[in-house]
């Protein structure tokens, strides 16, 4: 059998960020479609094919596909295979034209969308040393994907070396999806490290302070309240350890981080360039 589908015979569909052009050959084993993506797709949820395997070829532009365990970038000439049953979504950075082929033939009825909160089951715990590689990978992914590099003060090597020194550096807690580390937060407790910040906040050097920081969440898992949960945990640790104040800082344009700090009870005290030269909103809460 042979059959030609002309452009005028395509079946077209459209969403807020995606246009699809289906070629209705009527075969059961394979189909073909051209997809134009401009932004996150689906707009909020995750998607999976329940019965078909999919191959996607990037004809032009760029696509970023998020899975629970990985993130892949597609550029012109690249292709990706997606096995049935895998949850994924196209990131908001995606803008391009893609050719999709499915086996067996795709149908809207077999596709499934869900909120990420309905897919994952999060647990929160102290990050063990055995997860160091996961920790470093999480940091690398998040820092490379920042909209503005100024949002996060880069780690120095000694900080990487001290990640699991909770007495002299910072207790480290994480959010897990199964065994996968998907978010982290730290409570900086080194008074030597925080000495300059005491000046920024107008506090005497004798004041015992702790800083909420190191808040990083993989892009696939944002919007689930992970940072809020971890910061509340670190805030309780600061209270239990008897610190006088807890402080934190966020770039003025990092609206999400600023709102989270206010949500866990810290109060805005001003905006300034702190000792290390970064522009920051300053937040503080008296603990005793």
Look at the chain and report how many structural domains it folds into. 2
Q: Which domain holds residue 60?
A: 7-116
Q: What is d(CA 254, CA 22) in angstroms, rounded to the nearest whole number?
A: 40
Instruction: Show which of 93, 116, 139 is a domain's final residue.
Output: 116
166 lies in a domain? yes
Confidence (pLDDT) at 37 = 98
Q: Please tell me whether residues 68 and 92 are part of one structural domain.
A: yes
Q: Please tell me whether residues 124 and 111 are part of one structural domain.
A: no
CATH number at residue 85: 2.60.120.10
Strand residues in the chain grouped as ranges (E): 11-14, 18-23, 31-38, 46-49, 53-67, 71-75, 79-82, 88-90, 95-103, 111-114, 122-126, 172-177, 180-188, 209-217, 245-250, 267-273, 279-286
1 lies in a domain? no
Instruction: Show which of 64, 92, 116 is a domain's final residue.
Output: 116
Q: Please tell me whether residues 178 and 54 are part of one structural domain.
A: no
Contact (Cβ atoms closer than 8 angstroms) between residue 80 and residue 20: no
Read off the pLDDT of residues 76-128 as tens digits, 9 standing for 90 and up: 999 999 999 999 999 999 999 999 999 999 998 999 999 999 999 999 999 99
Quick one: average pLDDT of 255-268? 95
Read off the pLDDT of residues 6-51 as tens digits, 9 standing for 90 and up: 999 999 999 999 999 999 999 999 999 999 999 999 999 999 999 9
Q: What is d(CA 145, CA 128) in angstroms, rounded to the nearest whole number?
A: 25
Which residue, 127, 188, 126, is CA-closest to 156?
188
Q: Please tell me whether residues 173 and 97 are part of one structural domain.
A: no
Residues near 121 by Cβ (< 8 Å), separated by ≥ 6?
A: 177, 178
CATH number at residue 198: 3.40.630.30
Give percent above pLDDT 70 in the chain: 100
265 lies in a domain? yes
Instruction: Show which of 116, 151, 168 is a domain's final residue.
Output: 116
Q: Which residue has the tokens 């329940």?
A: 50
- On whether the pTM is more than 0.85, the answer is yes
On the question of pLDDT at 147 being above 80, the answer is yes
Q: Which residue has the tokens 């004798």?
A: 206
247 lies in a domain? yes
The partner residues of 246 in beta bridges, in order of sequence, read 210, 285
Q: Please tell me whether residues 145 and 165 are part of one structural domain.
A: yes
What average pLDDT is seen over the chain?
A: 95
Q: Please tell me whether residues 147 and 177 are part of one structural domain.
A: yes
Confidence (pLDDT) at 63 = 98
Confidence (pLDDT) at 1 = 78
On the question of pLDDT at 276 being above 90, the answer is no
Confidence (pLDDT) at 288 = 84
User: H or E segment at 195?
Assistant: helix 195-200
Q: Please tell me whether residues 183 and 76 are part of one structural domain.
A: no
2 lies in a domain? no
Chain centre distance of CA 135: 14
pLDDT band of residue 228 (cuts 50, 70, 90) is very high
């Amino acid at each position: 059998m042979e059959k030609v589908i002309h452009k005028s015979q395509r079946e077209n569909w459209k969403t807020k960020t995606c246009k699809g052009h289906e070629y209705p050959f009527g075969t059961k084993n394979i189909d073909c479609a051209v997809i134009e993506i401009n932004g996150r797709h689906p707009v909020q949820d995750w998607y999976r094919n329940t019965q078909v395997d999919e191959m996607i070829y990037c004809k032009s532009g760029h696509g970023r596909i998020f899975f629970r365990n990985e993130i892949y970038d597609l550029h012109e000439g690249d292709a990706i295979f997606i096995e049935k049953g895998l949850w994924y979504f196209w990131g908001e950075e995606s803008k391009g034209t893609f050719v999709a082929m499915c086996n067996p033939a795709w149908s809207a009825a077999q596709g499934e969308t869900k909120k990420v909160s309905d897919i994952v089951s999060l647990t929160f715990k102290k990050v063990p040393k055995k997860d160091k590689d996961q920790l470093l990978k999480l940091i690398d992914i998040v820092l490379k994907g920042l909209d503005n590099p100024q949002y996060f003060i880069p780690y120095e090597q000694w900080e990487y070396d001290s990640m699991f020194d909770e007495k002299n550096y910072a207790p480290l807690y994480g959010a897990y999806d199964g065994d996968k580390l998907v978010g982290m937060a730290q409570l900086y407790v080194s008074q030597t490290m925080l000495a300059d910040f005491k000046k920024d906040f107008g506090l005497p050097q004798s004041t015992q302070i702790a800083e909420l920081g190191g808040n990083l969440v993989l892009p696939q898992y944002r919007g689930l309240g992970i940072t809020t949960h971890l910061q509340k945990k670190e805030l309780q640790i600061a209270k239990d350890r008897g610190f006088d104040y807890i402080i934190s800082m966020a770039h003025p344009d990092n609206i999400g981080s600023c709102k989270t700090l206010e949500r866990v009870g810290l109060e805005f005290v001003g905006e300034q360039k702190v000792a290390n030269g970064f522009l920051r909103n300053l937040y503080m809460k008296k603990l005793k």
